[in-house]
Amino acid sequence: MKFNLGCQLSYQVDSWSTFVFNLRVVETNYQKLLNELLEISPDIEIDEYYSPFSENRYFRLNVPANTRLQLSYWAKVEMSHYYGDPGTIAEVAPADLPVEMLHYLYPSRYCQSDRLLRLADSEFGHLEPGYSRVTAICNWIYEKVIYLYGSSNPHTSAYDTATERQGVCRDFAHLGIAFCRALNIPARFVSAYAYGLEPPDFHACFEAYLGDRWYLFDATRRAPQNGLIRIGTGQDASDVSLSTIFGAVQMQEMKVFVEYLPASTATSDEIPQLTTKAIAIS
Amino acid sequence: MKFNLGCQLSYQVDSWSTFVFNLRVVETNYQKLLNELLEISPDIEIDEYYSPFSENRYFRLNVPANTRLQLSYWAKVEMSHYYGDPGTIAEVAPADLPVEMLHYLYPSRYCQSDRLLRLADSEFGHLEPGYSRVTAICNWIYEKVIYLYGSSNPHTSAYDTATERQGVCRDFAHLGIAFCRALNIPARFVSAYAYGLEPPDFHACFEAYLGDRWYLFDATRRAPQNGLIRIGTGQDASDVSLSTIFGAVQMQEMKVFVEYLPASTATSDEIPQLTTKAIAIS
Amino acid sequence: MKFNLGCQLSYQVDSWSTFVFNLRVVETNYQKLLNELLEISPDIEIDEYYSPFSENRYFRLNVPANTRLQLSYWAKVEMSHYYGDPGTIAEVAPADLPVEMLHYLYPSRYCQSDRLLRLADSEFGHLEPGYSRVTAICNWIYEKVIYLYGSSNPHTSAYDTATERQGVCRDFAHLGIAFCRALNIPARFVSAYAYGLEPPDFHACFEAYLGDRWYLFDATRRAPQNGLIRIGTGQDASDVSLSTIFGAVQMQEMKVFVEYLPASTATSDEIPQLTTKAIAIS
Amino acid sequence: MKFNLGCQLSYQVDSWSTFVFNLRVVETNYQKLLNELLEISPDIEIDEYYSPFSENRYFRLNVPANTRLQLSYWAKVEMSHYYGDPGTIAEVAPADLPVEMLHYLYPSRYCQSDRLLRLADSEFGHLEPGYSRVTAICNWIYEKVIYLYGSSNPHTSAYDTATERQGVCRDFAHLGIAFCRALNIPARFVSAYAYGLEPPDFHACFEAYLGDRWYLFDATRRAPQNGLIRIGTGQDASDVSLSTIFGAVQMQEMKVFVEYLPASTATSDEIPQLTTKAIAIS
């Protein structure tokens, strides 16, 4: 299924400043980039790079003082999806994990799994291991944490959300990740464009490594999983910030859009909708 | 200068368990591995790997229940050192940093630089940028934080240590890293064997990226910097834990040794000693 | 029912030091002090006082340097108990609370009820108000928090225990208090001698104000409620510390004992035992 | 010196709600209430009370649903002041403190002095005990903490402010109190009307017990100390909240005013101004 997506950002730059953006979509086996346009005004050199730690597509801008920076991004993407059978997807023991996954078992800034071991064990330790246990984590979060704009801030972490029980998509993702790691399930943060999100915004969810791949989970239930288009992955939000800014800058405007381009031949899996199927896009 | 070093560890393994060890020294331009021996008893297959995120030499062991696991490591290492002139080493602005360094500006589990911005600015913001500013950070930590065994625990982070003012080498390193990142200086955690440490133990210090390389800093002043032999680097201690254990295991014994092998032709730089020179081993 | 109880404490006092002790039992309508003996060696003047904030029986000692302080306390106490019917005891709305109870709705050092509002609401908000809701809180704590010596420290608070799910009697009490306050039920900390506690030690539990009095709750289930003899009450442990010490002091020994003195005519209510009846001693 | 002061508050009350207000000024030796008027609309019974823990003048209102509650308070106050000589005011050792002051050495919700012991000792432990040491604490806070509206929230505590170095008057007071307690100086929170505060608002500062009385300190330097008119005192802000609200309520308006009424015969001490003299109003 195909999507048009993108964003428009503008900033008032008061001092000479450096921006690191992470807002372009990646290409994966399940996510094809058909077309893409990135426009910056004024015309500033774009320093593109991939982190050695991921395939995220960062770019850096150095912007002079007293500039109104405008950034416009548009992409056309074709998503296919890997659909698995939740009933047959197993957890992988640390003994058998591909070694590059071990990193995603460790605690990180916003996912202090080391401090949530007993809580995770008490709530989920008795459940059957496998895909369904991560689903149970998402259900727990959906039921017990209130989605509330402005209820958290950039310092809020999974440790806080576990107790304070309120947050936004980023907090839901952090808590899901922390619970997974506390149960020895590798988990990572996903930033994404999300079809159907109201109001339109950048979105965050998470992936857990199960069976032989990364499966997508979204405890917020605010957008269909097969309408998510991946921007970046990382240990947590600190790795995939939309923009990291060094300097005196005011954001002035942010618009995000995601448009579904229906095909005349679409099957039922090819329509963006909430699903209980196991779904992978990485 | 040459060192013999190593460790002996033993564990009582009660359940079937997985260990991830990170205790072998790495090879760098300044650190040559002349010889090495790793012995495991009972004879268990060693699953060696490098993380995609570092050159650290992890290995994984899967150990049956009711085993007494014994591990003995010995290495002979030759260190040369890069010595720089502290007076000429500059900080590198985010605009000019090699892109792979940007990762080391982000907050991590034990180095919440995002919450220490004002403290770092208030204490160090007015100082001349450069190597000397990181030295000032180390002096501040040395003077204001008490080195005290048992005063911290595995959950203790830089945010705590900034206020509670007590800790061990790992806490000193985390605080130094967090301050550096808060000032936009890339910094990373270093686990090491340390000549002259009393009592002998694994050691932790940190590296800051300045000029064109990673310089070594140790705010504890408990061991000569040129007597440090690197095991691993990471965002913080969570990446380079000596051992990450999945299962029911009791540590029974840990011995660490580092022996200096004097050469008849040693210059003064070739004797392990505290120094105010800028020193790099990465 | 009658009890003999007491404690023996000894300290090595290195510098001139001040002690504030809170270990003598109080007298209430339900707790009669038949006899009491407090011995201090060396012979130091005892500065007894009641706090303006409670009826706790503090005493202060000023002890010279290089002293071995020995303290021996013995009391004979007769407990009667108010037994209520759990099914008929209501919560009291803030509108109707006696004004001196409002204080016990506020957050305190170890009971940060302001940060547990949503957690309390999510877990207990839907339950029928009344005595049974506080029982539900105790059951929750008993089931979800592990009683483990050494798992918490003097800084551990209800906010931590809610997530880390381990602690000792003091932590169980703090969490119960915090949940009650978050639901607008006045609650306070109780320090006590406890018959049947194994190993013998000082004990902590809590009281909630319901109906027209303070009812006793102990989420640890480690001692019969009618075998508790009250020492002090306060907002939390900071108010009723067994000993607050100003100076360089080492505790060397602590022994606590509580002995039940059976009466030939005891009814079943007059034997120390776990009960589901509502019980008050204040 | 005389002041007119007061406030106007209005609330939209959606559900049946209980308010506990603490906004009337107290009478002390140094603070005489010449006249006072409290008007509530609609006409609701006022349940006045003094806490057993303080002389604060709380009152409670029970308000029906769908009410617009308006509250208007006016008072005319005459302040005299106790002026002491900072050079001669000593700290009082715990051994010699009046017993009712010991309570103000204990940690509280927002003043976790138990976690700031080493920080306080490291920054102020070497200073001469006495009034000047509390002045040094205030100077430290004034210099290192930025006064910034919106930089803290109702959960922010001294532990946070010590590190995050930003806050408002309440945070400045909490940090001053926590440092004092960590040095064994009794300290308490003071809510007040403040002449000269821009913009007009309720104010917070603190008192430390030194010599034989409570001296007033204000680390914000935003209002003259002799223009402060006391509302309440407590362990921290949780005891003297302007309004504690149980129910669904929106604040709609808050106006505060303090007017100095100059006397033709005023000496220089009788004009509101910043001073370095030791000043007491309790």
- Residue D59, chain C, CB below 8 Å: the answer is no
pLDDT band at D264 (very low <50, low <70, confident <90, very high): confident
Q: Is the pLDDT of residue D267 over 90?
A: no
Cα distances (angstroms) measured from residue C125 to each of C44, C128, C247, D246: 52, 8, 45, 15
Partners of D163 on chain B (C-beta within 8 Å) are: 115-116, 119, 159, 162-163
C117 touches chain D (CB under 8 A): no
Q: Is the pLDDT of residue B263 over 90?
A: no
Instruction: With CB atoms and an 8 Å threshold, state whether B159 touches D163.
Output: yes
Burial label for D71, CB within 10 Å (0-12, 13-18, 19+), is buried
The alpha carbon of residue D184 is apart from the nearest alpha carbon of chain B, in Å, by: 17
Strand partners, C205: C190
Q: Which of B119, B146, B163 sits opposite D115 (nearest CB)?
A: B163
CA distance D55 to chain C (A): 12
Tokens of A161: 């959300």
Residue of B nearest to D162 (CA): B163
Q: Indicate the pLDDT class of residue A274, thresholds 50, 70 and 90.
A: confident
Neighboring chain C residues of A118 at a CB cutoff of 8 Å: 146, 164-166
Range B143-172 average pLDDT? 95
Among left, alpha and beta (phi > 0; psi -120 to 50; other), residue A205 is beta
Report the distance separating Cα C92 and Cα C104, nearest Å. Answer: 13
Residues A185, A206: Cα–Cα separation, whole Å? 12
Residue of C nearest to A166 (CA): C118
Q: How many CB pairs under 8 A join A and C?
A: 30
Buried b / exposed e along D124-143 (16+ C-beta atoms within 10 A): beeeebbbebbbbbbebbbe
Enumerate residues 6+ apart whose C-beta is below 8 A from D170.
D110, D152, D204, D237
Per the CB < 8 Å rule, is A164 touching C118? yes
Q: Does B52 touch chain A (CB under 8 A)?
A: yes
> How would you class C196 by CB atoms within 10 Å of its CB: exposed for 0-12, middle for 13-18, buried for 19 or more?
middle
Is A213 at the interface with chain C, CB within 8 A?
A: no
From C109's Cα to the closest Cα of chain D, the distance in A is: 4
Mutate which: D119, D146, D148, D175, vs B, most B CBs within 10 A: D119
Mean pLDDT for D271-281 is 90
Cβ–Cβ below 8 Å for D239 and C103: yes
Instruction: Note whether B51 contacts A155, CB cutoff 8 Å.
Output: no
Query: Touching D: which chains, 3+ CB pairs < 8 A?
Result: B, C
Give pLDDT, residue C53.
76
Q: Is D114 on the interface with C (CB under 8 A)?
A: yes
Q: What is the pLDDT of residues D125-143, one digit of tens each?
A: 999 999 999 999 999 999 9
CA B78, distance to chain mean position in Å, is 18
What percent of chain B lies above the pLDDT cut of 70? 100
Tens-digit pLDDT profile for residues B54-65: 889 999 999 999
Answer whether residue D266 shows pLDDT above 80.
Answer: no
Ranges under pLDDT 50 in chain C: none
Query: How far is residue C167 from each of residues A271, C176, D180, measured CA to CA in Å?
Result: 50, 13, 30
Question: What pLDDT is stored for residue A255 in this prediction?
Answer: 98
State what percent of residues in chain B have pLDDT above 90. Answer: 91
pLDDT reported for residue D52? 75
> Where in D64-107 does DSSP place strands (E)?
67-79, 82-84
**Which of A15, A20, A50, A99 best probes binding to B when mutated, by most B CB atoms within 10 angstroms?**
A99
pLDDT score, position C33: 97
Query: pLDDT tens, B129-148?
Result: 999 999 999 999 999 999 99
Which residue of D lies nearest to C98 if distances are taken between CA atoms?
A: D49
Judged by a CB distance cut-off of 8 A, whether residue C159 touches chain A is yes
Q: What is the pLDDT of residue A265?
A: 76
pLDDT reading at D275 higher than 90: no
A93 interfaces chain B, CB cutoff of 8 Å: yes
CA dihedral D123, D129, D131, D134 (to 10 degrees): 20
Q: What is the mean pLDDT of residues A76-93?
A: 96
Residue C279 has what pLDDT? 95
Choose between B130 and A267: higher pLDDT: B130
Task: Detail the DSSP E strand segments found in chain A.
Answer: 2-13, 17-21, 31-41, 47-50, 57-63, 67-79, 82-84, 146-147, 166-167, 187-194, 202-210, 213-217, 228-234, 243-246, 249-261, 278-280
A99 closest CB neighbour out of B49, B62, B109: B49
Considering only the beta carbons, identify the residue of A118, A159, A162 that sits closest to C166: A118
Mean pLDDT, residues A113-135: 96
- Which domains, ranges and CATH numbers included, belong to chain D? 2-80+242-261 (2.60.40.2250), 82-240+272-280 (3.10.620.30)
- Long-range contacts of range B150-153, CB-CB < 8 Å, 24 or more positions apart? none
Q: C103, D53: Cβ pair inside 8 Å?
A: yes
Q: What is the rounded distance in angstroms from the CA atom of residue C226 to the CA atom of residue B20?
A: 51
pLDDT band per the 50, 70, 90 thresholds, residue D270? confident
* Contact at CB, C115 and A163, closer than 8 angstroms: yes
Put simply, whether D116 touches B (Cβ < 8 Å) is yes
CB under 8 Å to A83, separation ≥6 — which residues?
A269, A277, A278, A279
Q: In this model, does residue A268 exceed pLDDT 90?
A: no
User: Strands A202-210 and A31-41: what pairing?
Assistant: unpaired
What whole-number distance in Å separates Cα of residue A96 and Cα of residue A84?
A: 20
Partners of residue C47 in chain D, C-beta under 8 Å: 99
In sequence order, what are the residues at sequence separation of 6 or more whose Cβ sits closer than 8 angstroms to the Cβ of residue B101?
Answer: B92, B186, B209
Greatest C-alpha distance within chain A = 58
Which residue of A lies nearest to C143 if distances are taken between CA atoms? A122
Identify any residues that bridge with B203 across adjacent strands, giving them in sequence order.
Answer: B192
Which neighbouring-strand residues pair with D243? Answer: D21
β-pair partners for A167 = A147
Q: Does B68 touch chain A (CB under 8 A)?
A: no
- For residue B102, list chain A residues with Cβ-Cβ distance below 8 A: 20, 51, 58, 60, 244
Q: What is the dihedral of CA A228, A234, A235, A236, to 10 degrees?
A: -60
**Per the CB < 8 Å rule, is A163 touching C166?**
no
Q: Cβ separation of B165 and D118 shorter than 8 Å?
A: yes
Contact D114 C155 (CB under 8 A): yes
Minimal Cα–Cα distance from A49 to chain C, Å? 39
From C116, C122, C165, residue closest to A122, measured CB to CB: C165
Q: Hey, which chains touch C, using 3+ CB pairs under 8 Å? A: A, D
Under the banding of pLDDT at 50, 70 and 90, the label for residue B53 is confident
Q: What is the mean pLDDT of residues D51-61?
A: 89
Q: Which of the residue ranges A127-136, B108-117, C267-276, D104-113 would you say has the lowest mean pLDDT?
A: C267-276
| CB of A211 closer than 8 Å to CB of A134 | no
Paired tokens of C101: 């109870």
User: Would you tell me which residues 121-150 of chain D have a C-beta closer than 8 angstroms to some C-beta of chain B?
Assistant: 122, 144, 146
The string of pLDDT tens digits covering residues B63-105 is 999 999 999 999 999 999 999 999 999 999 999 999 889 999 9
Average pLDDT score over chain C? 95
Nearest-Cα residue of chain A relative to residue B48: A99
CB atoms B112 and A109 under 8 Å: yes
Instruction: Specify the length of chain D in residues.
Output: 282
Is the CB of residue A103 less than 8 Å away from at least one CB of chain B?
yes
Please report the pLDDT score of residue D133 as a whole number. Answer: 98
What pLDDT score does B208 carry?
98
Instruction: For chain A, give the percent of residues with pLDDT over 90.
Output: 91
Nearest-neighbour CA in chain C from A117: distance (Å) = 7
Listed in sequence order, the DSSP H helices in chain D are 117-124, 131-144, 158-164, 169-182
Q: Across the B/D interface, how many CB contacts are shorter than 8 Å? A: 31
Cα separation of A79 and A216, whole Å? 14
Q: Which of A106, A119, A233 to mutate to test the interface with B (most CBs of B within 10 A)?
A: A106
- The yes-or-no verdict on residue D220 having pLDDT over 80 is yes
Instruction: Determine the residue among C117, C118, C160 to mutate to test chain A binding: the one whose Cβ has the most chain A Cβ atoms within 10 Å.
Output: C118
